[in-house]
């Protein structure tokens, strides 16, 4: 089976229990939940049957153990995750506002979780078919350099790159945009949230940006539209839009990564992209029904059992 490699931040997340709970005062928090966008994606891809390994760094502490225990249990190969004795595992605090928006406080760039480097991944590139990279991993100058180098190493070996810009305003720096653009323009698969392509590529609407990427290096572009579903654009011009599966949203963080992990796992197992999209759309919907970024991840058997929820398109 085709093999997937994910690289980037592995951290725990604390979720504010109450809506509009300020991060400036004491409040009620749920967690620690295993998290980190590449980790969530890898977890879901493994649950859906993919051969997936994750490269990153954690501290030698209970939070690192919590993440690695969860990932191992889901079937992610974590042999190349470096446990750094000189730092603590990263932490993110997320709180939701009444209007549905959210804010993060990240302890990442200076934590052990921010110390992954090309050297951590180089031997792991052997036998890999797709490397998945994320913009959220580009949170410091050192991380930008590492992610850029992994991209170059993958492309030099002819390995396909999948990219989710996954922009986080809290950690995005102007000086990192060229790295993000280089990866976006060179990736074969792009999985973007609404508005991200327009933000990175200029004034054109996301759909036009998707076609622009398909005229370049991309063969598949997916637009994630939250509660409005998702769209698929292929270089053969096939386009598909699916409405969201109606659910009660409890915690939207991680839905995009659950969606991406499902999509990549199914495509790597030979599914038609349109069927992979429908099941990713289902997985993303189920993911938002539970608190905690990986709590809503589902196995392929779970998704099959929930197929009756698929919108008839």
Stretch that binds Mg ion, among 8-16, 42-50, 251-259, 272-280 (CB under 5 A): 251-259
Asked if 131 interacts with ligand ATP (CB under 6 A), we say: no
- Burial readout 85-107 (b: 16 or more C-beta within 10 A, e: otherwise): eebbbbbbbbbbeeeeeeebebb
* Percent helix, percent strand, percent coil in the chain, to nearest 5: 40, 25, 40
CA–CA dist 64, 66 (Å, integer): 5
Asked if 166 interacts with Mg ion (CB under 5 A), we say: yes
Q: How far is the CB of 83 from ligand ATP (least distance, A)?
A: 26
Q: How far is the CB of 159 from ligand ATP (least distance, A)?
A: 23
The string of DSSP codes covering 85-103 is TTS--EEEEEEE-TTS-EE
Residue 66's nearest CA partner among 294, 286, 255 is 294
Out of 255, 266, 267, 268, the only residue in the binding site for ligand ATP (CB under 6 A) is 255
84, 120, 164, 257: the catalytic one is 257
Q: Which is nearer to Mg ion, 4 or 77 (CB)?
A: 4
Asked if 35 interacts with ligand ATP (CB under 6 A), we say: no
**Which alpha helices (H) appear in 48-135, and where do they start and end?**
62-74, 118-121
Stretch that binds Mg ion, among 5-13, 28-36, 81-89, 191-199 (CB under 5 A): 191-199
First to last CA, the chain: 30
Q: How far is the CB of 244 from ligand ATP (least distance, A)?
A: 4
Asked if 256 interacts with ligand ATP (CB under 6 A), we say: yes
CA–CA dist 53, 46 (Å, integer): 9
State which residue has the least CB distance to ligand ATP.
Answer: 256
Parallel, antiparallel, or unpaired for β 29-35 and 51-55? unpaired
Q: How far is the CB of 253 from ligand ATP (least distance, A)?
A: 5
Parallel, antiparallel, or unpaired for β 230-234 and 220-224? antiparallel
Asked if 261 interacts with ligand ATP (CB under 6 A), we say: no
Q: Choosing among Mg ion, ligand ATP, none, which partner's interface includes residue 226 (Cβ < 5 to 8 Å by kind)?
A: ligand ATP
**Which alpha helices (H) appear in the chain, and where do they start and end?**
37-47, 62-74, 118-121, 141-156, 177-186, 196-201, 206-214, 255-268, 273-287, 300-305
Q: Which of residues 151-170 bind ligand ATP (CB under 6 A)?
A: 166
Q: Choosing among ligand ATP, Mg ion, none, which partner's interface includes residue 281 (Cβ < 5 to 8 Å by kind)?
A: ligand ATP
Residue 79 among the catalytic residues: no
Q: What's CA 176's distance to the chain center, in Å?
A: 18
Asked if 284 interacts with Mg ion (CB under 5 A), we say: no
Q: How far is the CB of 202 from ligand ATP (least distance, A)?
A: 20
Do 29 and 14 contact (CB within 8 A), yes or no? yes
Out of 87, 254, 256, 296, the only residue in the binding site for Mg ion (CB under 5 A) is 256
Sites of contact with ligand ATP (CB under 6 A): 166, 193, 224-227, 229-230, 244-245, 247, 249, 252-257, 259, 281, 284-285, 288
The catalytic residue positions are: 257
Contact set with Mg ion (CB under 5 A): 166, 193, 256
């Amino acid at each position: 089976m085709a093999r997937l490699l994910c690289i980037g931040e592995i951290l725990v997340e604390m979720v504010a229990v109450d809506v509009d709970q300020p991060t400036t005062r004491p409040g009620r928090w749920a967690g620690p939940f295993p998290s980190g966008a590449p980790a969530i994606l890898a977890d879901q891809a493994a649950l859906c049957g993919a051969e997936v390994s994750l490269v990153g760094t954690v501290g030698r502490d209970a939070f690192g153990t919590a993440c690695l225990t969860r990932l191992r249990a889901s079937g992610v190969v974590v042999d190349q995750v470096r446990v750094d004795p000189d730092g603590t595992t990263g932490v993110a605090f997320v709180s939701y506002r009444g209007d549905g928006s959210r804010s993060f406080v990240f302890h990442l760039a200076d934590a052990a979780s921010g110390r992954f480097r090309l050297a951590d991944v180089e031997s792991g590139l052997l036998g890999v078919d797709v490397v998945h990279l994320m913009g959220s991993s580009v949170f410091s100058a050192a991380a930008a350099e590492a992610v850029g180098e992994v991209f170059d190493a993958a492309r030099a070996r002819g390995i396909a790159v999948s990219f989710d810009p996954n922009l986080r305003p809290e950690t995005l720096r102007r000086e990192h945009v060229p790295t993000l653009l280089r990866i976006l323009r060179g990736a074969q698969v792009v999985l973007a949230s609404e508005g991200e392509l327009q933000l990175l590529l200029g004034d054109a609407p996301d759909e036009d940006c998707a076609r622009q990427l398909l005229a370049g290096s991309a063969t598949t572009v997916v637009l994630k539209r939250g509660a409005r579903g998702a769209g698929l654009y292929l270089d053969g011009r096939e386009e598909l839009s699916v409405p969201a599966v109606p659910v009660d949203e409890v915690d939207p963080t991680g839905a995009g990564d659950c969606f991406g992990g499902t999509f990549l796992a199914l495509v790597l197992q030979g599914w038609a992209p349109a069927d992979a999209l429908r099941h990713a759309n289902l997985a993303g919907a189920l993911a938002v029904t539970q608190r905690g970024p990986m709590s809503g991840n589902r196995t392929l058997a779970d998704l099959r059992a929930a197929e009756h929820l698929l919108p008839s398109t």
